[in-house]
Amino acid sequence: MPNKGKLPPAEKVKVVQKYLSGELSVTEFERCCSINRATLYTWVRLYKARGIEGLMPASKTRKYSPELKQSAVAEYLSGGISLRSICAKYDINTDSILQDWIKVYNSHKDFKQPNSGGVIYMAKGRKTTLDERIEMVSRCIAENNDYGKIIEQYGVSYQQIYGWMRKYEKDGVDGLTDRRGKRKSESEMSEVEKLWAQIKLKDAENLRLQMENELLKKLEELERGRGVD
């Protein structure tokens, strides 16, 4: 794979997929691409969080809520977790963005509400039903983990949708049940209800995979066209 200074998005996707499948080691990546491993780790994190869209050139500056900034900085400053881990947890583009927030915090300035283009970021979440959580997670999967869109549409907090996504990835549908207190109706889903939820979530995953494949094909076609020119 020739080094052109900056890899086009389609090549980034191929490199990340080869790395995740074990076909390409970190050392091989550095040798063939002449790019350091920190860059690969960033690509992998963005791909896991957002799919192919995470490796596409940003059409506009990504916005982060004041609550997210405060949570990320506070967790980092509490110690025991790296910049990279915080960026992965809160889906922050790069380490340098988090470092800038830390500088703002240490200078005793406030995080201002960004111009989010209409996206509503709530400091507090709300109570939700199991059906709502299944619906929100399935929509989030289909929308390539666009948390902002889910927050705006359903009126929940970033921490809530982020937590549900992680629980679903770890435990499947069971991770979305609320086992606190005496809410037995949720923790005792019938087999029919669980099957319905699994089908709904699987359909969302298939939809996202289909969109990613279509986008990758378009990128490859575009790059072939540029090569002809």
- Residues 6+ away with beta carbon under 8 Å from 20: 44, 47
Question: What per-residue confidence (pLDDT) applies to 65?
Answer: 82
pLDDT at 61: 63
* 125 alpha carbon, distance to own chain's centre: 19
The number of helix segments (H) and strand segments (E) in the chain equals 11, 0
- The whole-number pLDDT of residue 93 equals 80
Task: Name the amino acid, one letter, at 78.
Answer: S
Q: Which pLDDT belongs to residue 55?
A: 81
pLDDT band at 2 (very low <50, low <70, confident <90, very high): very low
Residue 112 is given by DSSP the state P
**Do residues 44 and 24 make contact, with C-beta atoms less than 8 angstroms apart?**
no
Where does 78-190 have alpha helices with state H? 83-90, 95-106, 130-142, 147-154, 158-171, 184-187
pLDDT at 157: 80
Residue 185 has pLDDT above 80, yes or no: no
Amino acid at position 157, single letter: S
Going by the DSSP 8-state scheme, the letter that residue 109 receives in this structure is P
What is the tens place of the pLDDT at every residue in 154-183?
888 877 888 888 888 888 888 888 665 444
Mean pLDDT score, 122-127: 65
Range of weakest confidence among 98-107, 112-121, 165-174: 112-121
Entry pTM = 0.44
CA distances (Å), origin 147, targets 66, 105, 205: 15, 24, 16
Q: Express each pLDDT in 34-87 by its tens digit.
A: 778 888 888 888 888 878 877 877 655 677 888 888 888 888 887 778 888 888
Token pair 């300035």 is found at 109
pLDDT at 199: 86
Separation between Cα atoms, residue 132 and residue 116, nearest integer Å = 24
What percent of the chain shows pLDDT beyond 90?
1
User: From CA 90, how far away is CA 97, in angstroms rounded?
Assistant: 12
Residue 3: pLDDT band with limits 50, 70, 90: very low
CB 155 within 8 A of CB 127: no
pLDDT of residue 4: 40
Biggest distance spanned by C-alpha atoms of the chain: 66
